Amino acid sequence: MTNKSVVTKYKTYLLLEKALSKNSISAYMEDVDKLFNFLEQENLRPEDVTLDHLQQFVAQLYDLGINARSVARVISGIKSFYGFLTLDGYISEDPTELLETPKVGMKLPVVLSVGEINDIIKIIDLSTIEGRRNKAILEVLYGCGLRISELTSLRFMDLFIDEGFIKVEGKGSKQRLVPISPTAAKEITNYMLDRNQMLAKKGHEDILFLSKRGTAISRIMVFHFIKQYAEEAGIKKNISPHTFRHSFATHLLEGGANIRAIQQMLGHEKITTTEVYTHMDREFLRQEIIEHHPRNKHYR
């Protein structure tokens, strides 16, 4: 079977036999697209997939910090697709039968909705230097998916704004280039007008985000103002700077971005393999953020 023909038949099945709404069909098709992206990377055909392959696919979702509800929805879509393949005789055994769906209540990273992130950012008082700095920080955390340690150590020499990238030093002193979205780049540029007026203490002259004391802003300080903004915005979730990283991954995935691209942007390495995803085209990675990140919609 060809992927294109079976997907077309599956879509017809959802419409005519399952009588699903247009939105529901769209959601199911997005789940199948995610699976097919994974299969393409693994050089697999849908009919060759085993339970082990599917568990590896789901493990990637967990590695990215995707919340339980989103993972459950993707698994539901994959189960539906393989149920169709079995029903129509494309395969004799359904590999999803023993694929476990996560309990929505299980402890997984907290993720903010796009609306909640917008509400937090709207709270910021942009009439102050600290406010403009904090907005830039949140846009970089959410727009680039950085760890808080990666953000607080950013230096001028790490910025390649015109090229659309920043250089990040992650765990184990491993460096990677991360695409920077137009929104985050704009806020950094705005903040630089203030930053150029600040007096930095010795050893912190090249640090991007400074505290009032002229030293690199601390993790605790970022944690504190994020908590404060969330409270003022009426958000009850227990969030931290890392929540923006999880939200970055979740929203890109739900927007249709390639899982492997997200994995490289986050600087993740798979536990089950020694392969490091360093061979993807940089411009492709940048397009993944520009096209799929919710805060870039108005730039199109």
Q: Catalytic residues, which ones?
A: 147, 171, 242, 245, 268, 277
The Cα–Cα gap between 268 and 172 comes to: 12
Type of residue at 31: D
Structure token digits, residue 172: 């184990």
The answer to whether the CB of 294 falls within 8 A of the CB of 114 is yes
The Cα–Cα gap between 68 and 75 comes to: 10
From its phi and psi, is residue 234 left (phi > 0), alpha (psi between -120 and 50) or beta? left
The answer to whether the CB of 11 falls within 8 A of the CB of 29 is yes
Structure token digits, residue 181: 């979205």
The Cα–Cα gap between 151 and 140 comes to: 8
Cα torsion at 148, 149, 150, 155 (round to 10°)?
Answer: 110
The answer to whether the CB of 249 falls within 8 A of the CB of 64 is yes
Closest CA to 77 of 17, 19, 33, 22: 33
The Cα–Cα gap between 198 and 110 comes to: 35
The Cα–Cα gap between 140 and 181 comes to: 9
The Cα–Cα gap between 12 and 169 comes to: 48
